[in-house]
A and B are shown apart, each in its own frame.
Chain A
Amino acid sequence: MNCLEFRRLVLIRPRQIAAEQQAHLEGCARCAEYAQRVARDEAAIEQAMLVPVPDGLAERILLRHKTHGPNRWGTLALAASLLVAVGVAFYSHEAPRQGDEIVSAQLAGASQHAMAAISYVLDHEPQLLKENRAGDPKVMRAALSELGLSLPANIGSVRYLGSSVLPDGSRGEHIVLQTPYGQVTLILMPDQFLASRVAVSDRNLQALVAPRRQGCYLLIADSTQTLERVEAMLL
């Protein structure tokens, strides 16, 4: 087996290395390196493809099977219930925003900004995490760059990415990170200029608002130590 044949097979079935391929691998450092990189890519592909499965999926399938039986009415009933569920979810997600906007006019100063961010995290984040919507990494990267921040790989994984309307009516780029120190929310606001750095505590959460030359960012976590550690990684 030559290198071309080896690499062709690795790209077709990276998880199966036949004896003939193994023999080639042992005598060819370049192909060994190639196989390692393909294996790393494959692990990343698999991780990305294994999207979260809704809780209780099998139970719902079996329940429907028992209660409705295999007919089209079952499908229509399910579709109707899904529509209602989507409608309720949409209403419950959107409704608080109007209230937030009213409150927003009364908010002023960095500390109120931080308190509002905590409320936002408590009120909206659980639903956003369930919806699992993916924002645009390019937008996030631009906002990070504008604020002179970076997300190194060792900071952990991104659980949520999206644009948020904060209680003061301004827009922020919202990132939820699963860091080695716990879950942390980062809100980037490139257009919001603040004079001072403020930390507040409310309902077991800590929030930090930090000004930057081109705007500000907010960090929300369950402890000040976590905030400090994650902030050090961002700067």
Chain B
Amino acid sequence: MIIERERSKFEGVVKAYSEELYRYAYWLCRDRFTAEDVVQETFTRAWQGWNGLRDDRAAKGWLYTILRNEHARLHERNQLAIDSDQELDELTDKSEGTAFDAFEMRDMLAALPETYREPLMLQVIGGFGCAEIASMIGITVGAVMTRLTRARQAVRKLIDPKPLTRAKES
């Protein structure tokens, strides 16, 4: 009876989060076959550790953390290196305002250093707050804020190299 209830709960979690986890996995590895494999393995590991999940509300963040670890394990990813600002500056402008926009935005996001792209993915795809992202990727909340800001500034610079109106200290 208890097993059936837990299994049913697990199925609900799979249905609720598999799509967004796939998208997160896709942006980590940028290969759809690998992304599905990582998501499959994530749920296998989640079921193995299901008894350890005491709060259902924590399931989403827990799954993202498993997936991130699983991706790192499967692909022997090293500790994320901090990319320099120079790399952001070197991204080239591709803007022209055409039907290529959606394709080019994917290229722009792919060209972002992973350290900037990952917090952005977690916020946009997962809807996580800065503190949750900080906890998941093991950096400070301040560092998450800095990376989110820099990621968006880099994207804006690629879309339109003209600076926006300057902020004044009023």
Please measure, in the bound complex, the distance between the C-alpha atom of A203 and the C-alpha atom of B47, giving whole angstroms: 50
| CB < 8 Å neighbour of A70 from B22, B48, B96, B130 | B48
A2-B94 CB under 8 A given contacts A156-B99, A157-B99? no
Closest to A3 in B: B167
Asked if residues B40 and A60 are in contact (CB atoms below 8 Å), the reply is: yes
A38-46, A102-110, A191-199, A219-227 - the one binding chain B: A38-46
Please measure, in the bound complex, the distance between the C-alpha atom of A28 and the C-alpha atom of B22, giving whole angstroms: 41
- Tell me, yes or no, whether B114 is within 8 Å of chain A by CB: no
Please measure, in the bound complex, the distance between the C-alpha atom of A57 and the C-alpha atom of B165, giving whole angstroms: 45
Please measure, in the bound complex, the distance between the C-alpha atom of A48 and the C-alpha atom of B151, giving whole angstroms: 14
Please measure, in the bound complex, the distance between the C-alpha atom of A2 and the C-alpha atom of B129, giving whole angstroms: 23
Please measure, in the bound complex, the distance between the C-alpha atom of A58 and the C-alpha atom of B39, giving whole angstroms: 10
B11-19, B53-61, B82-90 - the one binding chain A: B11-19
A137-B94 CB under 8 A given contacts A54-B36, A58-B15, A62-B14? yes
Please measure, in the bound complex, the distance between the C-alpha atom of A121 and the C-alpha atom of B41, giving whole angstroms: 36
Asked if residues A34 and B164 are in contact (CB atoms below 8 Å), the reply is: yes
Closest to A74 in B: B44
Closest to B42 in A: A61
Distance from A217 Cβ to chain B, minimum over Cβ atoms (Å): 15
Distance from B101 Cβ to chain A, minimum over Cβ atoms (Å): 7
- Tell me, yes or no, whether A235 is within 8 Å of chain B by CB: no
Asked if residues B130 and A58 are in contact (CB atoms below 8 Å), the reply is: no
Please measure, in the bound complex, the distance between the C-alpha atom of A13 and the C-alpha atom of B98, giving whole angstroms: 27
Q: Which residues from chain B contact A79 at a C-beta distance below 8 Å?
A: 37
Please measure, in the bound complex, the distance between the C-alpha atom of A34 and the C-alpha atom of B166, giving whole angstroms: 9
Q: Which residues from chain A contact B76 at a C-beta distance below 8 Å?
A: none
| CB < 8 Å neighbour of A46 from B33, B124, B165 | B124
A54-B22 CB under 8 A given contacts A12-B130, A161-B103? yes
| CB < 8 Å neighbour of A82 from B37, B99, B105, B125 | B37
Asked if residues B100 and A151 are in contact (CB atoms below 8 Å), the reply is: yes
Interface of B is mostly: helix
What total of chain B residues lie within 8 Å of the partner, measured CB to CB? 58
Please measure, in the bound complex, the distance between the C-alpha atom of A46 and the C-alpha atom of B42, giving whole angstroms: 24
| CB < 8 Å neighbour of A137 from B103, B121, B124 | B103
- Tell me, yes or no, whether B67 is within 8 Å of chain A by CB: no
A61-B14 CB under 8 A given contacts A12-B145, A38-B152, A86-B33? yes
Asked if residues A44 and B159 are in contact (CB atoms below 8 Å), the reply is: yes
Q: Which residues from chain A contact B33 at a C-beta distance below 8 Å?
A: 82, 86
Q: Which residues from chain B contact A78 at a C-beta distance below 8 Å?
A: 37, 40
Q: Which residue among B94, B99, B106 has the maximum number of chain A CB atoms within 10 Å of its CB? A: B99
Distance from A193 Cβ to chain B, minimum over Cβ atoms (Å): 26
| CB < 8 Å neighbour of A65 from B26, B43, B105 | B43
- Tell me, yes or no, whether B170 is within 8 Å of chain A by CB: yes
The 8 closest A-B pairs by CB, nearest first: A3-B167, A48-B105, A11-B149, A151-B99, A30-B165, A58-B18, A70-B44, A53-B19
Q: Which residues of A contact B (CB under 8 A)?
A: 2-4, 6-8, 11-14, 28, 30-31, 33-34, 37-38, 41-42, 44-51, 53-54, 57-58, 60-62, 64-65, 70, 74-75, 78-79, 82, 86, 132, 134, 137-138, 140-141, 150-153, 155-158, 161, 177
Q: Which residues of B contact A (CB under 8 A)?
A: 10-11, 14-15, 18-19, 22-23, 26-27, 32-33, 36-37, 39-41, 43-45, 47-48, 94, 96-109, 120-121, 123-125, 129-130, 145, 148-149, 152-153, 155-156, 159, 164-165, 167-170
